[in-house]
Amino acid sequence: MDLGAYRPVLANRDTRSALLLGFLIRVPMWAGGVILTLHVVTSLGRSYGEAGLVTAASTVAVAVSGPWRGRLLDRIGLRRTVGPSLLVQVVCWSVAPWVGYLPLVAFAALAGLFVVPTFSILRQVIIGSVPAEQRRTALSLDSSATELSFMAGPAIGVWLATSWHTGWALLVCELASAAAGFVMWLVNPPLTSGRPEGAPEAGHDEQGEGARAEAIAAPAVPGRGVAPRAVRGFITVPVAAVLLAAACSTLVLSGTDVSIVAALRSFGSTGSIGWVLALWGAGSLVGGLVYGAWHRSLSVFWLLGGLAATTAPVALALGVPSFAVLVTVSGFLCAPTITATVEQLSRLVSERFRGEMMGWHGSAMTAGSAVGAPVAGFAIDHGGWSWGFVVVSALGVLIAGLGWLASRRGREVAEPGPAAAAEASAVAAPASPDGVAPTDSEHGVPAATIDH
């Protein structure tokens, strides 16, 4: 582990700006989510279930909009994508705090459809601003900054909602988020590295963690492997496996969140929920920083399996002290797992599809989060709080194993061996007049993929 790896990343002005801007955007975003729930319950006098429906409407809309907004980033750039979104956000959240329940649901859904794709934008900026060998470190910093904003945002939201009328608190938070988005629009950071498409990325380690040439561009050699079919130009079996891992990671996390609340209520320590969740987030923060300083990347499927495996022992806790320790340990692989999904996708997918890829990644994580809570809740209702941890852990281990097998199978199909590669070059390269194949044939073969 080399903490000095963070020095060149933090010295990069574009990376520094993206990390700071991300923190400023995400704090009011997390705060706004808490305030929205409190607004429905207190100011509108509705139930928590009805508050959950408002959140669900917004969440579904954000999940649907992810690939669409990402595709726009790829096609028309940051400013033309973000500009209309900012106008919709300002209009929706200027009106939404002062309307009844059903109009609020509609405004929340509309705002979700036109949400500024901040996670996609900032991660693209970070990926494009650093060399390949610094990518994991930079993304780990982003995950750690996200953890810090998640720890600060809800606390600020609760304070605002209890100090002011929830309508004003909601208005202030959402407009602050829009203002931060406007700053991003003004700065207009570059979303790509500026390297020519297909240019090699320097700095790969001895394990072969290079950027991957698109498998669909490789010539097929009869009998030696077929290039995989790609949906939308980039979604191959390995890519789909990583997206599944991203969804499963948030399934485990959202299920753990619900199970923590249920466990502490069972222990008669409801007042401990806040600081136990903070410890969970602190474990993730430390894990993210350690992973960023680690000497090599790890497969997302190994990390997901580890995240799930360390979640199961929480079910063995006998009281609040042991529960807090086990929860903190279970959080250690949260940020590394999320970081690994982004890093591995950035190597599997061509830069020209990166915006849409990040949109699908965000949608996958949103979908996993939406599934995890009810799955854990069902297990808790039928078997007690400990079963919430056990069930999401078992699902995580299962998906990690299946994803690893699918990804490995996809690589075997996509990549011919050395002999096949040589044959492909011999078949594809036209002979020169003196009978020697030229060395600059445009019919290349895929570069080595990540194989941990």
Reading the chain (452 residues) residue by residue, the pLDDT tens digits are 666 778 888 888 888 888 888 888 888 988 888 889 889 988 898 887 788 788 888 888 888 888 888 888 888 888 999 999 999 999 999 999 999 999 999 999 999 999 888 888 888 888 888 888 888 888 888 888 888 888 788 888 888 888 889 999 999 999 999 998 899 899 888 887 665 544 444 444 433 333 343 333 333 333 344 445 666 566 788 888 889 999 999 999 988 988 888 888 888 887 787 788 888 988 998 998 888 888 777 888 999 999 999 999 999 998 999 999 999 999 999 989 999 998 888 888 888 888 888 888 888 988 888 888 888 888 888 888 999 999 999 999 999 988 888 767 655 555 544 444 444 444 444 444 343 333 333 333 333 333 33
Domain-embedded: residue 225: no
Cβ-contact 6, 293 below 8 angstroms:
yes
C-alpha distance from residue 191 to each of 77, 79, 216, 340, 348 (Å): 8, 11, 23, 20, 17
- Residue 446 domain flag: no
**pLDDT score recorded for residue 295:** 74
Model-level pTM? 0.73
Asked if 361 and 234 count as a contact pair (C-beta separation under 8 A), the reply is no
Helices (H) and strands (E) in the chain, counts: 16, 0
Alpha helices in 268-417 (DSSP H): 273-293, 300-311, 320-330, 334-348, 354-383, 385-414
Closest CA to 360 of 59, 42, 14, 120: 120
> Distance (Å, rounded) from C-alpha 64 to C-alpha 214?
26
> For position 447, what pLDDT does the model report?
36
3-state class (DSSP) for residue 235: strand
Q: How far apart are CA 273 and CA 55, in angstroms?
A: 21
Q: Is residue 224 part of a domain?
A: no
Residue 437 lies in a domain: no
Whether residue 401 is found in the same domain as residue 347: yes
Q: How many domains does the chain have?
A: 2
Is 2 part of any domain? yes
DSSP letters along 364-388, please? HHHHHHHHHHHHHHHHHHHH-HHHH
Q: Residue 225 and residue 166: Cα distance in Å, rounded?
A: 60
Q: Give the domain CATH number at 34.
A: 1.20.1250.20
Tell me whether residue 370 is in a domain.
yes
Same domain, 182 and 286: no
DSSP string, 164-200: S-HHHHHHHHHHHHHHHHHHHHHH---SS--PPTTPP
Let me know whether 179 and 36 are in one domain: yes
Amino acid at 71: R
Residues 302 and 247 both lie in one domain: yes
Range of the structural domain that residue 330 is part of: 230-419
- Which domain-ending residue is among 166, 192, 218? 192
- Does any domain span residue 426? no
Specify if 201 maps to a domain: no
Regarding whether 249 and 348 lie in a shared domain, the answer is yes
